[in-house]
Amino acid sequence: MRLDVVSIFPDYFAPLGLSLVGKAIAAGTVDLAVHDLRTWTHDRHHTTDDTPYGGGAGMVMKPEPWGEALDALEAASPLPMTIVVPTPAGRPFTQAMAYELAARERLVFACGRYEGIDQRVIDHCRERYDVVEVSLGDYVLNGGEVASLAVIEAVVRLLPGVIGNPDSLLEESHSTGNEQLLEYPNYTKPPVWRDRAVPEVLLSGNHALIAKWRRERAMERTRERRPDLLGEDFS
């Protein structure tokens, strides 16, 4: 998979060289390129923002550098581009969306700052590419970088070969293999720690009983913490 990220703070993406994503890049499963939007500015101050039409507080990202950046990225590879635009006004990011994005050949992350990117850039992109506006949650970050990092990590771990044991993807929270429930609680050695024993059933070796116990705990947790996942109301 090819990943391009465009940001005025490319240094935000240095941690992608670590851990599983870093290994996926080293193994060639992921081809990552991080671009500084200011490359596509032409004034002495490398300006990427201007005052909003209609007035009001804050600045808006100018369309020209974004237009040039996306033209240059399109010309750099024949792979079809899916433009991922992090915005609090986007679709809430879910595991299902992560799977959807993991099936694409090339993702281009457009990281907004200030009050966001001039709307015409998004409208123009929609005519040329697939565009996914994605929200990390109902709160406001300073920029699209942290949201892009989260989406990249969630997507890359789904690519074949990235997670050592692919079964762990089936059993975890929000996965279809887990009926989209929250995951059951996990335990490891020692069997007793600070007077707290691991639930007896997990030491029984009886796989059917263990599976039953885990499903019950998953259901219990989901009902308690996220009844909306079961189609129930929060009370």
Interface positions with ligand SAM (CB under 6 A):
86-89, 111-113, 115-116, 135-137, 139-144, 147
CB of 105 to ligand SAM, least distance (A): 23
Nearest CB to ligand SAM, comparing residues 37 and 111: 111
Q: How many residues does the chain have?
A: 235
In whole angstroms, how close is the CB of 219 to ligand SAM at the nearest point?
30
**Is the Cβ of residue 65 or residue 144 nearer to ligand SAM in the bound state?**
144
Assigned token pair, 206: 């009886």
Q: Which is nearer to ligand SAM, 8 or 162 (CB)?
A: 8
**Nearest distance, CB of residue 17 and ligand SAM, angstroms:** 23
Furthest C-alpha separation in the chain:
70
In the bound state with ligand SAM, the residue whose beta carbon lies nearer, of 36 and 181, is: 36
Report, in Å, the least distance between residue 80 CB and ligand SAM. 23
Which residue's beta carbon is nearest to the bound ligand SAM? 112
Q: Could you tell me the smallest distance in angstroms from the CB atom of residue 188 to ligand SAM?
A: 34
Binding residues for S-adenosyl-L-methionine: 112, 136-141
Q: Which CB sits closer to ligand SAM, 10 or 22?
A: 10
Query: Phi and psi at residue 17, in whole multiples of 5°?
Result: -80, -5
